[in-house]
Chains A and B, each alone.
Chain A
Amino acid sequence: FRKMEQEMLKCLFLGFGLQKIRYPCSKKDPFPGEAPIPHKQLQKFQRGEKYKVPAGARRRLKEAIISSEAMSELAQKQAARYDLLLPEDAGFLEGDEDEDTNTISQDDIADAVDITSGSKYFNLHLSQFGPYRLDYGRTGRHLLVGGKKGHVACIDWQSKDLMCEMNVMETVNDVKWLHTEAMFAVAQKRWLYIYDSKGLELHCVKKFNDVLRMQFLPYHFLLATASATGFLQYLDVSVGKEIAAVCTKMGRLDVMSQNPHNAVIHLGHPNGTVSLWSPNQKEPLVKMLCHRGAVRSLTVDKTGTYMVTSGLDRKLKVYDIRAFKPLHSCFLPAGASCLSLSQGGLLSAATGDIVQVYQNVLGSSPVSKPYMAHRLRGQIWGLAYCPFEDVLGIGHGEGFTSMIVPGAGEPNFDALDTNPFRSSKQRQEWEVKALLEKVQPELIGLDPGQLSKVDQASFEQRHKEQVEALGFDPLAKDKFKPKTKKKGRSSAGAIEKRKRKVAHEDQRDEIRQTVQERTERDKEQKEKSNEKKKLGNKSTLDRFRK
């Protein structure tokens, strides 16, 4: 008995260092090997497809690809396992058996949840200065409201702490936070103004005139503005220079959204088209015809796969942006003037003074009834979800309303990217790092991962030049040479047999080459004969022919 005790103690101490715990009696681990990871979780961290080893690759290339694929798999598994440690869960709202969730009012929800969550439903009665546009900061802490008649205020909405409030004495078309809560941009009647969070005017950018809408691209530090004169302009806020001014030639640019996955700007036009722009081209990247009437509002989801648009033809359409295909459309009795997609995939559509929130819009089937609905006092002018909270901010004619939408926000944030609880020191450090890895605007395109792909065209060009320069192809496969020291099997007949086994491969390449050459030659000859025919038929009497 004592022996067993001693052995068990030994195993306990050893088990701290080893992965496998050896039991004193020869029992086997009932769950041998690694813990399994659910496939969906693993898929979440998959980036691109596995790279296949190309046929005819050299040994070094094969080894490099195999080892790098193994590393990627390990990284994927480790990231998927870490998902267990995420602290928060998403919110939800479920009605009783015969109760529809869209009949539940905000007051009921606020009463049913705890005090802090309940205080997230509040109204700011600002009926004097016109319908309000709003913007939440990236961390979801700070709220910026701008009324059409000139009232601009920024508040920390969770503590209701007023950071600044002023009236700029001009029409305010749009307001946007810049990269931190220290600066914001206001598109006023004539020019673009940049203010400090204390309300001090920092810059008046006269190059940007008649700005109607703005979008901030956080990883490029670019403020994209759409103007009433049809210009799409990009301002680099870290350097203070205008990067690009694109003349869209499509009239007044009223509807604007960004694709957070690839930083492409989406503009909606009165003829029903949606165009996609990048600062590197004078023409749109893509033009899509989306609606029969004018496009009233559009929004793109955070993965850059789906785009939701609403138009004057009272339709709400969902498109797959990667393949540019329509997925489904549904009919709204009154067209939605504002659309917004949350981090959790909830779509909010505003028509007049009613806001409706839809769930599972981006799935395969169209949605019949809304998840939640809320009626407000004034006409809705702006709609935005708060980034990491279950809150929807609504700017309307009578002020600002904050509405509780369970399930809207992303429950777990990454503190190295955006941390709502950051201290000022952490914010300063983050700002420096973000500026150092600011992405250059030349890299904005439809596929953000293009830098990681092999540039096949320029490789082939270089290979051609190399073959010309050297006189032979260094990458060509050598013809099969059989080994001649095969312990009695190296007679002439045996060598011929071995050569014949592999001969068909070499032959196939040769045949392919000759066939290609022949077809090219035939093509050339045909073209030449066609030209000759054309020339041969010409004569001076042609002008009299009918």
Chain B
Amino acid sequence: MKVKVLCRNPDDYVRETTRDIQRVPRNYDPTLHPFEVPREYTRALNATKLERVFAKPFVASLDGHRDGISCITKHAKSLSTVISGACDGEVKLWNLPRQECLRTVQAHEGFVRGICSRFCGTSFFTVGDDKTIKQWNLEAPGYGVREEPINTILGKAVFTGIDHHQRESTFVTCGQTVDIWDEQRSSPIRSFSWGVDSFSCVRYNPVETELLASCASDRSIVLYDTRESAPLRKVIMQLRSNTLCWNPMEAYYFTCANEDYNLYTYDIRHLDVPVTVHMDHVSAVLDVDYSPTGREFVSASFDKTIRIFPKDKGHSREVYHTKRMQHVICVRWSADNKYVLSGSDEMNIRLWKANASEKLGLLSTREKAAAHYNKKLIEKFQHHPQVRRIARHRHLPGDILKQKREQREMKEARRRREQNVRKHSKPGSVPLLTEKEKHVAAVVE
């Protein structure tokens, strides 16, 4: 007879010394692992709960300004420097890891309306209420030397915004007209205007570097090409946009922060309908900035909160608020995709984590693997009601919650009224507009 009985040699299954790691032989046969789906569901539930437990996004507050902060800009090459301008004309340079102010410059008399840093990382530009454009050195002057701008340009009217080209030494300002300047000249090389009395914001496209967009006071957004002599086209909306930001990964998308509590993402090829309407704020949205991955953006609003939206979803995934943070005027996403900076009315710049439950610092491979696994589990079971209920839950301040409920009721009332009108009128006489179509008034070429 031929016989073989299962016999395991313990030497193959037990470690040799206590200094070795344990031996873990695996067998992926599904019959040895019953209840895959319920166990994964339980793990997903645990992962969601732990994510909420570890969600502590506030990192630090940068204190020092003596008036509300009106603009922030990132250093072009360094992750640890940030430049902010306040409403009393002060500009401060901050070192983020040490959370201290490196340098203070009294840049303007009046508001600092805009700051931008040059692509080379050696200087930055500021514009203010005193109708000047000043270029400053990023290195501090030597001991005893007075702080002086490298260059000052006097203009005829107040400038309200500035942005610098990605590669060439040109920058653009907006005020009464959109002007393109060369750094060597003291008068603009080109001026764009389209019957509008003021522009609030202008931005260069980071990918297609010859494209520009600006927000105008006649509720429109105007697109320009620096190679042409006239603006390209404009889209007029129901309410005015405060700022806009181009998607750094997709050259044809930009998102604008509007006064009607929403943000709109437009495709420049089809300006008649926005790609997405992002709704969640309960007051005017003041600033927007994209993450360097181009997948999410952060928005700052007059309702004392900042919200992080995925680029293709209509609702926010995260909301940050504190009792001490008042109206948030400006917001920036750091270039390493990890932090969000918000500058607000009460003279503080706050540093937040972009992923609230992320563990900072160097993680071991096992920690990283566990974090990835938990993230994937939450993504897999995100539609189950129990998991969604926990993942969605965010604490909101009392007034914002009340405002939200009120606005929802108002919206419902308006919708019911429209439906009634449609029901009692000739079919087809009252057109059915989707949410996206409602907000654009006209596109002008």
Contacts and interface: CB of A to CB of B under 8 A. Distances in A.
A499 B384 CA distance: 41
Contacts of A88: 6, 8
A448 B34 contact: yes
A303 B1 contact: no
B27 A86 contact: yes
A440 B419 contact: no
Contacts of B10: 421
Contacts of A86: 27
B3 A93 contact: yes
A404 B1 contact: no
Contact of B5 (A303, A404, A426): A404
A439 B28 CA distance: 20
B36 interface: yes
B28 A417 contact: no
Interface stretch (A51-59, A190-198, A405-413): A405-413
B5 A113 contact: yes
A109 interface: yes
A413 B25 contact: yes
A94 B2 contact: yes
B14 A421 contact: yes
Contacts of B29: 44-45, 412, 414
B7 interface: yes
Given A47-B30, A443-B38, A451-B37, A96 B6 contact: no
B6 A389 contact: yes
Nearest to B12: A87
A463 interface: no
Contacts of B12: 87
A116 B2 contact: no
Nearest to A405: B5
Contact of A426 (B2, B22, B30): B22
A471 interface: yes
A448 B32 contact: no
B34 A451 contact: no
Contacts of B432: 471-472
Contact of B4 (A82, A91, A99): A91
Contact-residue size bin, chain B (C-beta under 8 Å from the other chain) = 35 or more
Contact of B7 (A104, A116, A437, A448): A116
B24 interface: yes
B43 interface: yes
A125 interface: no
A452 B381 CA distance: 9
A91 B5 contact: yes
A11 B42 CA distance: 50
B25 A87 contact: yes
Nearest to A47: B30
Interface in B139-174: none
A316 B12 CA distance: 41
Nearest to B9: A116
Contacts of A438: 42
A112 B5 CA distance: 10
A39 B35 CA distance: 25
A200 interface: no
Contact of A412 (B2, B4, B23, B27): B27
B5 A451 contact: no
A251 interface: no
Contacts of B31: 302-303
B225 to A, nearest CB: 23
A202 interface: no
A440 B38 CA distance: 8
B1 A44 contact: no
Contacts of B35: 219, 262-263, 439, 448
Contact of A82 (B3, B22, B28, B30): B28
Contact of A409 (B3, B6, B28, B422): B6
A416 interface: yes
Given A87-B12, A436-B46, A448-B35, A406 B27 contact: no
A390 B1 contact: no
A94 B1 CA distance: 6
A45 B39 contact: no
A416 B36 CA distance: 14
Given A423-B22, A440-B42, A414 B6 contact: no
A117 interface: yes
B1 A417 contact: no
Contacts of A104: 1
Contacts of A472: 432
Chain B CB count within 10 A is highest, among A88, A409, A423, A450, for A88
Interface in A54-87: 79, 82, 86-87
B38 A448 contact: yes
Interface in A468-509: 470-472
Contacts of B32: 410, 413-414, 417
A469 to B, nearest CB: 8
Interface string B424-445: 0000000010000000000000
Contacts of A436: 42-43, 46
B354 to A, nearest CB: 25
Nearest to A79: B28
Interface string A25-65: 00000000000000000001101000000000000000000
A357 B78 CA distance: 75
Interface in A84-127: 86-96, 99, 101, 104, 108-109, 112-114, 116-117, 120
8 contacts: A92-B3, A113-B3, A262-B34, A406-B6, A412-B29, A414-B29, A448-B38, A470-B415
Given A44-B30, A260-B34, 16 more contacts: A79-B28, A86-B27, A87-B25, A93-B4, A94-B2, A108-B1, A112-B1, A113-B3, A304-B34, A388-B6, A406-B4, A412-B25, A413-B27, A414-B32, A451-B38, A451-B41
Interface of A: 44-45, 47, 79, 82, 86-96, 99, 101, 104, 108-109, 112-114, 116-117, 120, 219, 260-263, 302-304, 388-390, 404, 406, 409-417, 419-421, 423, 426, 436-440, 443, 448-452, 470-472
- Please list the 10 inter-chain residue pairs (A to B) with the smallest Cβ-Cβ separation, ordered nearest first: A117-B5, A415-B24, A421-B13, A439-B38, A412-B27, A414-B27, A79-B28, A94-B2, A390-B6, A449-B37
